[in-house]
Amino acid sequence: MKLIVVASLALVCLLLIGCTPAPDFDAHLNSIVKPHRFSLLRWESRTVLHGLNQWLFGRHEKIDNGVQIVTEYFTAVEQMKNPESNGNQVSSGAELKSLHERKVALEDAVEEILARQIKETLNEQGIFNPMNIRLGVTFPPPNFKLEKPPHLLVVSPRDRIESMREIVLRQYLSVEEMEATETEVDKLGVSSLVLELGGLGATYPTFVTNDANLRFTLDTATEEWVHQYLGFRPLGFRYLLDLIGVSRNYEIATMNETVASMVSNEIGAMVYQKYYSGYENGSSRNQTGKSDFDFNREMREIRRAVDRYLAQGEIEQAEEFMEEKRQYLASKGYYIRKLNQAYFAFHGTYADRPTSIDPIGVELRQLRSQSASLKDFLNTVARMTSRQELRESIR
Protein backbone atom coordinates (compact mmCIF):
# COMPACT_ATOMS: atom_id res chain seq x y z
CA MET A 1 0.00 0.00 0.00
CA LYS A 2 1.61 3.20 -1.20
CA LEU A 3 0.15 5.76 1.17
CA ILE A 4 3.24 7.43 2.65
CA VAL A 5 3.75 11.12 2.02
CA VAL A 6 7.42 11.39 1.10
CA ALA A 7 7.52 14.98 -0.08
CA SER A 8 6.20 16.91 2.91
CA LEU A 9 8.83 19.62 2.66
CA ALA A 10 8.15 20.02 -1.03
CA LEU A 11 4.46 20.37 -0.28
CA VAL A 12 5.16 23.15 2.16
CA CYS A 13 7.40 24.75 -0.43
CA LEU A 14 4.80 24.95 -3.11
CA LEU A 15 1.76 25.62 -0.99
CA LEU A 16 3.20 28.09 1.49
CA ILE A 17 5.54 30.08 -0.76
CA GLY A 18 6.40 33.52 0.50
CA CYS A 19 9.11 33.21 3.12
CA THR A 20 11.44 35.92 1.87
CA PRO A 21 11.41 39.26 3.71
CA ALA A 22 8.70 41.11 1.81
CA PRO A 23 5.69 41.04 4.16
CA ASP A 24 3.59 43.67 2.39
CA PHE A 25 4.06 42.09 -1.00
CA ASP A 26 3.35 38.58 0.28
CA ALA A 27 0.30 39.73 2.22
CA HIS A 28 -1.20 41.29 -0.89
CA LEU A 29 -0.23 38.32 -3.05
CA ASN A 30 -1.76 35.84 -0.63
CA SER A 31 -5.01 37.80 -0.45
CA ILE A 32 -5.26 37.66 -4.25
CA VAL A 33 -4.64 33.92 -4.58
CA LYS A 34 -6.47 32.78 -1.44
CA PRO A 35 -9.78 31.95 -3.23
CA HIS A 36 -7.93 29.85 -5.79
CA ARG A 37 -5.36 27.94 -3.71
CA PHE A 38 -5.10 24.22 -4.21
CA SER A 39 -6.24 22.27 -1.13
CA LEU A 40 -3.50 19.77 -0.49
CA LEU A 41 -5.22 18.32 2.58
CA ARG A 42 -8.47 17.68 0.73
CA TRP A 43 -6.72 16.08 -2.24
CA GLU A 44 -4.37 13.89 -0.16
CA SER A 45 -7.28 12.74 2.04
CA ARG A 46 -9.33 11.74 -0.99
CA THR A 47 -6.38 10.03 -2.65
CA VAL A 48 -5.36 8.13 0.47
CA LEU A 49 -8.93 6.94 1.00
CA HIS A 50 -9.11 5.80 -2.62
CA GLY A 51 -5.80 3.95 -2.24
CA LEU A 52 -6.95 2.34 0.98
CA ASN A 53 -10.18 1.23 -0.65
CA GLN A 54 -8.25 -0.27 -3.56
CA TRP A 55 -5.93 -2.09 -1.17
CA LEU A 56 -8.75 -3.51 0.94
CA PHE A 57 -11.38 -4.27 -1.66
CA GLY A 58 -9.68 -4.10 -5.05
CA ARG A 59 -8.55 -6.97 -7.19
CA HIS A 60 -4.93 -7.92 -6.53
CA GLU A 61 -4.24 -10.62 -9.10
CA LYS A 62 -1.24 -10.14 -11.34
CA ILE A 63 -2.00 -8.19 -14.50
CA ASP A 64 -0.72 -10.30 -17.40
CA ASN A 65 -2.06 -8.16 -20.23
CA GLY A 66 -0.55 -4.90 -19.02
CA VAL A 67 0.63 -3.68 -22.42
CA GLN A 68 -2.81 -4.31 -23.91
CA ILE A 69 -4.54 -2.40 -21.10
CA VAL A 70 -2.18 0.56 -21.44
CA THR A 71 -2.53 0.77 -25.21
CA GLU A 72 -6.31 0.48 -24.93
CA TYR A 73 -6.33 3.35 -22.45
CA PHE A 74 -4.22 5.69 -24.58
CA THR A 75 -6.16 4.79 -27.70
CA ALA A 76 -9.29 5.96 -25.85
CA VAL A 77 -7.49 9.16 -24.82
CA GLU A 78 -6.56 9.87 -28.43
CA GLN A 79 -10.05 9.12 -29.72
CA MET A 80 -11.59 11.46 -27.15
CA LYS A 81 -9.21 14.27 -28.09
CA ASN A 82 -9.67 13.77 -31.83
CA PRO A 83 -13.04 12.02 -32.26
CA GLU A 84 -13.31 12.59 -36.00
CA SER A 85 -9.70 12.08 -37.06
CA ASN A 86 -7.91 9.02 -38.40
CA GLY A 87 -11.15 7.21 -39.13
CA ASN A 88 -12.12 7.07 -35.45
CA GLN A 89 -15.73 7.83 -36.33
CA VAL A 90 -16.53 8.77 -32.73
CA SER A 91 -18.96 11.60 -32.99
CA SER A 92 -22.05 10.92 -30.92
CA GLY A 93 -22.40 11.91 -27.30
CA ALA A 94 -23.18 8.34 -26.33
CA GLU A 95 -19.96 7.05 -27.93
CA LEU A 96 -17.86 9.72 -26.24
CA LYS A 97 -19.50 8.94 -22.91
CA SER A 98 -18.76 5.25 -23.36
CA LEU A 99 -15.13 6.02 -24.21
CA HIS A 100 -14.81 8.24 -21.13
CA GLU A 101 -16.25 5.55 -18.86
CA ARG A 102 -13.89 2.95 -20.29
CA LYS A 103 -10.93 5.30 -19.86
CA VAL A 104 -11.82 6.00 -16.21
CA ALA A 105 -12.30 2.29 -15.53
CA LEU A 106 -8.77 1.56 -16.79
CA GLU A 107 -6.96 4.38 -14.96
CA ASP A 108 -6.08 2.55 -11.74
CA ALA A 109 -4.66 -0.40 -13.67
CA VAL A 110 -2.71 1.86 -16.05
CA GLU A 111 -1.18 3.78 -13.14
CA GLU A 112 -0.06 0.52 -11.55
CA ILE A 113 1.30 -0.97 -14.76
CA LEU A 114 3.30 2.10 -15.83
CA ALA A 115 4.64 2.69 -12.31
CA ARG A 116 5.87 -0.91 -12.21
CA GLN A 117 7.50 -0.65 -15.63
CA ILE A 118 9.23 2.61 -14.68
CA LYS A 119 10.42 1.09 -11.40
CA GLU A 120 11.80 -2.00 -13.15
CA THR A 121 13.66 0.17 -15.64
CA LEU A 122 15.13 2.33 -12.87
CA ASN A 123 16.26 -0.85 -11.08
CA GLU A 124 17.84 -2.16 -14.29
CA GLN A 125 19.85 1.07 -14.45
CA GLY A 126 20.90 0.67 -10.81
CA ILE A 127 19.15 3.87 -9.76
CA PHE A 128 18.21 3.60 -6.10
CA ASN A 129 17.80 6.16 -3.36
CA PRO A 130 20.89 6.25 -1.10
CA MET A 131 18.70 5.55 1.94
CA ASN A 132 17.88 2.11 0.52
CA ILE A 133 20.79 1.30 -1.75
CA ARG A 134 21.82 -1.71 0.35
CA LEU A 135 18.33 -3.14 0.00
CA GLY A 136 18.36 -2.56 -3.74
CA VAL A 137 14.92 -0.96 -3.83
CA THR A 138 13.70 2.19 -5.50
CA PHE A 139 12.64 4.83 -2.99
CA PRO A 140 10.27 6.52 -3.04
CA PRO A 141 8.36 3.95 -5.11
CA PRO A 142 7.12 5.48 -8.39
CA ASN A 143 3.46 6.25 -7.79
CA PHE A 144 1.28 8.70 -9.67
CA LYS A 145 -2.33 9.61 -10.36
CA LEU A 146 -3.66 10.17 -13.86
CA GLU A 147 -5.60 13.32 -13.07
CA LYS A 148 -5.72 16.95 -14.12
CA PRO A 149 -2.86 18.63 -12.19
CA PRO A 150 -3.28 21.89 -10.29
CA HIS A 151 -2.38 25.18 -11.95
CA LEU A 152 0.79 27.03 -11.05
CA LEU A 153 1.10 30.78 -10.56
CA VAL A 154 4.60 31.94 -11.46
CA VAL A 155 5.73 35.43 -10.41
CA SER A 156 8.81 37.14 -11.83
CA PRO A 157 10.26 40.62 -11.37
CA ARG A 158 9.61 42.85 -14.36
CA ASP A 159 13.21 44.01 -14.67
CA ARG A 160 14.72 40.53 -15.02
CA ILE A 161 13.69 36.98 -15.79
CA GLU A 162 13.70 34.99 -12.58
CA SER A 163 11.06 33.08 -10.64
CA MET A 164 10.46 34.81 -7.29
CA ARG A 165 7.25 33.03 -6.24
CA GLU A 166 5.47 29.86 -7.35
CA ILE A 167 2.05 29.10 -5.88
CA VAL A 168 -0.13 26.07 -6.59
CA LEU A 169 -3.71 26.91 -7.54
CA ARG A 170 -6.73 24.64 -7.83
CA GLN A 171 -7.16 22.27 -10.72
CA TYR A 172 -10.20 23.76 -12.40
CA LEU A 173 -9.77 27.42 -13.27
CA SER A 174 -11.41 29.15 -16.20
CA VAL A 175 -9.33 31.31 -18.51
CA GLU A 176 -11.23 34.31 -17.12
CA GLU A 177 -10.22 33.40 -13.56
CA MET A 178 -6.61 32.88 -14.61
CA GLU A 179 -6.43 36.24 -16.36
CA ALA A 180 -8.21 38.06 -13.53
CA THR A 181 -5.67 36.64 -11.06
CA GLU A 182 -2.77 37.68 -13.27
CA THR A 183 -4.18 41.21 -13.61
CA GLU A 184 -4.40 41.63 -9.85
CA VAL A 185 -0.94 40.18 -9.22
CA ASP A 186 0.61 42.38 -11.93
CA LYS A 187 -0.69 45.43 -10.07
CA LEU A 188 1.90 44.60 -7.41
CA GLY A 189 4.59 45.62 -9.90
CA VAL A 190 5.57 42.16 -11.08
CA SER A 191 5.06 39.86 -14.06
CA SER A 192 2.80 36.86 -13.48
CA LEU A 193 1.45 33.86 -15.33
CA VAL A 194 -0.95 31.06 -14.41
CA LEU A 195 0.16 27.85 -16.09
CA GLU A 196 -1.54 24.56 -16.83
CA LEU A 197 0.86 21.83 -15.75
CA GLY A 198 1.50 18.43 -17.25
CA GLY A 199 2.59 17.03 -13.92
CA LEU A 200 3.39 17.93 -10.32
CA GLY A 201 5.86 16.17 -8.04
CA ALA A 202 5.08 17.97 -4.79
CA THR A 203 2.43 15.44 -3.78
CA TYR A 204 2.54 11.71 -3.19
CA PRO A 205 1.30 10.15 -5.40
CA THR A 206 2.43 12.68 -7.96
CA PHE A 207 0.16 14.21 -10.58
CA VAL A 208 0.33 13.32 -14.27
CA THR A 209 -2.22 14.78 -16.65
CA ASN A 210 -4.80 12.30 -17.92
CA ASP A 211 -5.19 13.72 -21.43
CA ALA A 212 -1.69 13.28 -22.89
CA ASN A 213 -0.17 10.58 -25.08
CA LEU A 214 1.71 7.55 -23.79
CA ARG A 215 5.25 8.83 -24.26
CA PHE A 216 4.49 12.16 -22.55
CA THR A 217 2.91 10.27 -19.65
CA LEU A 218 5.95 8.02 -19.23
CA ASP A 219 8.35 10.97 -19.31
CA THR A 220 6.29 13.06 -16.92
CA ALA A 221 5.68 10.27 -14.39
CA THR A 222 9.43 9.60 -14.35
CA GLU A 223 10.33 13.28 -14.13
CA GLU A 224 8.14 13.85 -11.09
CA TRP A 225 9.69 10.77 -9.47
CA VAL A 226 13.19 12.15 -10.11
CA HIS A 227 12.22 15.35 -8.30
CA GLN A 228 11.25 13.28 -5.26
CA TYR A 229 14.43 11.21 -5.55
CA LEU A 230 16.54 14.37 -5.63
CA GLY A 231 14.70 15.72 -2.58
CA PHE A 232 16.81 13.34 -0.50
CA ARG A 233 20.07 14.54 -2.05
CA PRO A 234 21.99 17.86 -1.73
CA LEU A 235 20.88 19.25 -5.12
CA GLY A 236 17.20 18.58 -4.46
CA PHE A 237 17.40 19.89 -0.90
CA ARG A 238 18.94 23.13 -2.12
CA TYR A 239 16.10 23.38 -4.61
CA LEU A 240 13.58 23.03 -1.79
CA LEU A 241 15.32 25.88 0.02
CA ASP A 242 14.96 27.93 -3.14
CA LEU A 243 11.25 27.13 -3.40
CA ILE A 244 10.45 28.18 0.17
CA GLY A 245 12.51 31.35 -0.19
CA VAL A 246 15.13 30.50 2.41
CA SER A 247 17.98 30.51 -0.10
CA ARG A 248 16.97 31.74 -3.55
CA ASN A 249 19.11 30.29 -6.32
CA TYR A 250 17.76 30.28 -9.86
CA GLU A 251 20.77 28.30 -11.11
CA ILE A 252 20.04 25.49 -8.64
CA ALA A 253 16.41 25.47 -9.78
CA THR A 254 17.54 25.25 -13.40
CA MET A 255 19.97 22.43 -12.65
CA ASN A 256 17.30 20.47 -10.79
CA GLU A 257 14.61 20.85 -13.45
CA THR A 258 17.03 20.11 -16.27
CA VAL A 259 18.45 16.98 -14.65
CA ALA A 260 14.94 15.68 -13.97
CA SER A 261 14.00 16.32 -17.58
CA MET A 262 17.12 14.66 -18.99
CA VAL A 263 16.83 11.54 -16.83
CA SER A 264 13.12 11.18 -17.50
CA ASN A 265 13.65 11.42 -21.26
CA GLU A 266 16.14 8.55 -21.13
CA ILE A 267 14.08 6.34 -18.82
CA GLY A 268 10.87 7.12 -20.69
CA ALA A 269 12.52 6.11 -23.96
CA MET A 270 13.73 2.84 -22.43
CA VAL A 271 10.28 1.94 -21.11
CA TYR A 272 8.63 2.86 -24.40
CA GLN A 273 11.10 0.88 -26.46
CA LYS A 274 10.87 -2.19 -24.21
CA TYR A 275 7.09 -2.40 -23.94
CA TYR A 276 5.45 -0.18 -26.57
CA SER A 277 7.70 -0.01 -29.60
CA GLY A 278 4.89 -1.36 -31.78
CA TYR A 279 2.31 1.12 -30.50
CA GLU A 280 1.48 4.15 -32.65
CA ASN A 281 -0.58 6.90 -31.08
CA GLY A 282 -2.57 9.48 -32.92
CA SER A 283 0.02 12.21 -32.53
CA SER A 284 2.61 10.26 -34.51
CA ARG A 285 0.09 9.35 -37.20
CA ASN A 286 -1.05 12.94 -37.53
CA GLN A 287 2.36 14.41 -38.28
CA THR A 288 2.59 15.98 -41.69
CA GLY A 289 5.32 17.72 -43.63
CA LYS A 290 7.61 20.06 -41.77
CA SER A 291 7.00 23.78 -41.81
CA ASP A 292 9.70 26.20 -42.85
CA PHE A 293 9.07 28.10 -39.61
CA ASP A 294 11.53 27.19 -36.84
CA PHE A 295 9.69 27.76 -33.56
CA ASN A 296 12.63 26.79 -31.35
CA ARG A 297 15.00 29.21 -33.08
CA GLU A 298 12.40 31.97 -32.93
CA MET A 299 11.89 31.49 -29.18
CA ARG A 300 15.64 31.60 -28.55
CA GLU A 301 15.91 34.85 -30.48
CA ILE A 302 12.95 36.35 -28.61
CA ARG A 303 14.54 35.45 -25.28
CA ARG A 304 17.88 36.98 -26.24
CA ALA A 305 16.18 40.20 -27.37
CA VAL A 306 14.14 40.42 -24.16
CA ASP A 307 17.29 39.96 -22.08
CA ARG A 308 18.92 42.83 -23.97
CA TYR A 309 15.95 45.12 -23.39
CA LEU A 310 15.86 44.33 -19.68
CA ALA A 311 19.63 44.72 -19.28
CA GLN A 312 19.24 48.26 -20.63
CA GLY A 313 16.34 48.99 -18.27
CA GLU A 314 13.82 49.12 -21.12
CA ILE A 315 11.06 47.17 -19.40
CA GLU A 316 8.07 48.59 -21.30
CA GLN A 317 9.82 48.05 -24.63
CA ALA A 318 10.55 44.44 -23.66
CA GLU A 319 6.91 43.83 -22.79
CA GLU A 320 5.66 45.44 -25.99
CA PHE A 321 8.14 43.35 -27.95
CA MET A 322 6.95 40.12 -26.30
CA GLU A 323 3.32 40.89 -27.08
CA GLU A 324 4.18 41.63 -30.71
CA LYS A 325 6.07 38.36 -30.94
CA ARG A 326 3.22 36.47 -29.25
CA GLN A 327 0.88 37.67 -31.98
CA TYR A 328 3.44 36.80 -34.64
CA LEU A 329 3.80 33.25 -33.27
CA ALA A 330 0.01 32.89 -33.29
CA SER A 331 -0.02 33.84 -36.98
CA LYS A 332 2.37 30.93 -37.56
CA GLY A 333 0.11 28.50 -35.72
CA TYR A 334 1.82 28.60 -32.30
CA TYR A 335 -0.62 30.01 -29.74
CA ILE A 336 0.78 31.21 -26.42
CA ARG A 337 -1.81 32.76 -24.16
CA LYS A 338 0.62 35.15 -22.49
CA LEU A 339 4.29 35.78 -23.25
CA ASN A 340 6.07 37.70 -20.51
CA GLN A 341 8.90 37.57 -17.99
CA ALA A 342 7.10 34.93 -15.90
CA TYR A 343 6.69 32.72 -18.96
CA PHE A 344 10.43 32.70 -19.59
CA ALA A 345 11.19 32.38 -15.87
CA PHE A 346 9.24 29.11 -15.75
CA HIS A 347 10.26 27.60 -19.07
CA GLY A 348 13.84 28.83 -18.73
CA THR A 349 14.53 26.35 -15.93
CA TYR A 350 14.37 23.52 -18.49
CA ALA A 351 17.79 24.17 -19.99
CA ASP A 352 17.79 20.96 -22.04
CA ARG A 353 14.91 22.17 -24.20
CA PRO A 354 15.57 23.33 -27.79
CA THR A 355 14.18 26.78 -26.95
CA SER A 356 16.64 27.34 -24.09
CA ILE A 357 19.62 29.69 -24.23
CA ASP A 358 20.89 28.78 -20.74
CA PRO A 359 24.44 27.35 -20.81
CA ILE A 360 23.55 25.09 -17.88
CA GLY A 361 21.87 22.80 -20.40
CA VAL A 362 25.08 22.54 -22.43
CA GLU A 363 27.11 21.86 -19.29
CA LEU A 364 24.77 19.12 -18.09
CA ARG A 365 24.80 17.48 -21.51
CA GLN A 366 28.60 17.53 -21.42
CA LEU A 367 28.55 15.91 -18.00
CA ARG A 368 26.13 13.26 -19.23
CA SER A 369 28.32 12.48 -22.25
CA GLN A 370 31.38 11.93 -20.07
CA SER A 371 29.48 9.80 -17.52
CA ALA A 372 29.81 6.04 -17.75
CA SER A 373 26.08 5.54 -17.24
CA LEU A 374 22.83 7.31 -16.45
CA LYS A 375 23.26 6.19 -12.84
CA ASP A 376 26.73 7.78 -12.62
CA PHE A 377 25.43 11.01 -14.14
CA LEU A 378 22.54 11.22 -11.69
CA ASN A 379 24.70 10.35 -8.68
CA THR A 380 27.29 12.96 -9.64
CA VAL A 381 24.91 15.84 -10.17
CA ALA A 382 22.71 14.91 -7.19
CA ARG A 383 25.64 15.67 -4.86
CA MET A 384 26.11 19.19 -6.20
CA THR A 385 25.12 22.32 -4.34
CA SER A 386 26.20 24.99 -6.83
CA ARG A 387 26.68 25.80 -10.49
CA GLN A 388 30.40 26.07 -9.87
CA GLU A 389 30.56 22.39 -8.91
CA LEU A 390 28.93 21.54 -12.23
CA ARG A 391 31.51 23.56 -14.15
CA GLU A 392 34.39 21.94 -12.25
CA SER A 393 33.07 18.44 -12.93
CA ILE A 394 33.33 18.84 -16.71
CA ARG A 395 36.56 17.50 -18.13
Residue 195, domain member (yes or no):
yes
Distance separating alpha carbons of residues 37 and 149, to the nearest angstrom: 13
pLDDT along the chain (395 residues), means of 10: 38 41 83 94 79 60 81 92 63 79 92 95 82 56 93 97 94 96 98 96 90 96 94 92 82 95 97 90 48 91 97 98 98 96 95 91 96 97 96 92
Distance separating alpha carbons of residues 30 and 205, to the nearest angstrom: 26
pLDDT at residue 111, rounded to an integer: 95
Q: Are 242 and 301 contained in the same domain?
A: no
Distance separating alpha carbons of residues 267 and 224, to the nearest angstrom: 12
- Parent domain of 299: 295-393
Residue 350, domain member (yes or no):
yes
Q: Are 105 and 125 contained in the same domain?
A: yes
The total number of structural domains that make up the chain: 2
Q: Are 272 and 331 contained in the same domain?
A: no
Q: Are 253 and 338 contained in the same domain?
A: no
pLDDT at residue 95, rounded to an integer: 81
- Residue ending a domain, among 284, 308, 328, is 284
- Residue ending a domain, among 284, 315, 339, is 284
Q: Are 258 and 317 contained in the same domain?
A: no
Residue 290, domain member (yes or no):
no
pLDDT at residue 359, rounded to an integer: 95
Q: Are 92 and 176 contained in the same domain?
A: yes
CB of 214 closer than 8 Å to CB of 74: yes
Q: What pTM, to 2 d.p., does this model score?
A: 0.85
Q: Are 128 and 164 contained in the same domain?
A: yes
Amino acid identity of residue 46, one-letter, is R
End-to-end CA distance of the chain: 44
C-beta neighbour count of 343 within 10 angstroms: 23
Residue 5, domain member (yes or no):
no
Which residues, 6 or more positions from 262, have their beta carbon under 8 angstroms from its beta carbon?
A: 352, 364, 365, 368
Nearest of 58, 15, 56, 10 to residue 39 by alpha carbon? 15
pLDDT at residue 305, rounded to an integer: 97
CB of 302 closer than 8 Å to CB of 263: no
- Residue ending a domain, among 231, 261, 284, is 284
b/e map 201-239, b = 16+ CB within 10 Å: bbbbbbbbbbebbbbbbbbbbbbbbbbbbbbbbbbbbbb
Q: Are 168 and 308 contained in the same domain?
A: no
Residue 8, domain member (yes or no):
no
Residue 2, domain member (yes or no):
no
pLDDT at residue 149, rounded to an integer: 95
Residue 275, domain member (yes or no):
yes
Distance separating alpha carbons of residues 207 and 267, to the nearest angstrom: 18
Residue 370, domain member (yes or no):
yes
Angle of helix 8-15 relative to helix 234-243, nearest 10 degrees, comes to 30
Q: Which residues are registered as beta bridge partners of 192? A: 155
Distance separating alpha carbons of residues 49 and 136, to the nearest angstrom: 29
Whole-angstrom CA distances from 203 to 40, 149, 227 are 8, 10, 11
Distance separating alpha carbons of residues 172 and 329, to the nearest angstrom: 27
Distance separating alpha carbons of residues 209 and 145, to the nearest angstrom: 8
b/e map 288-313, b = 16+ CB within 10 Å: eeeeeeeeeebbbebbeebeebbeee
Q: Are 131 and 265 contained in the same domain?
A: yes
Q: Are 211 and 344 contained in the same domain?
A: no
Q: Are 276 and 305 contained in the same domain?
A: no
Q: Are 242 and 359 contained in the same domain?
A: no
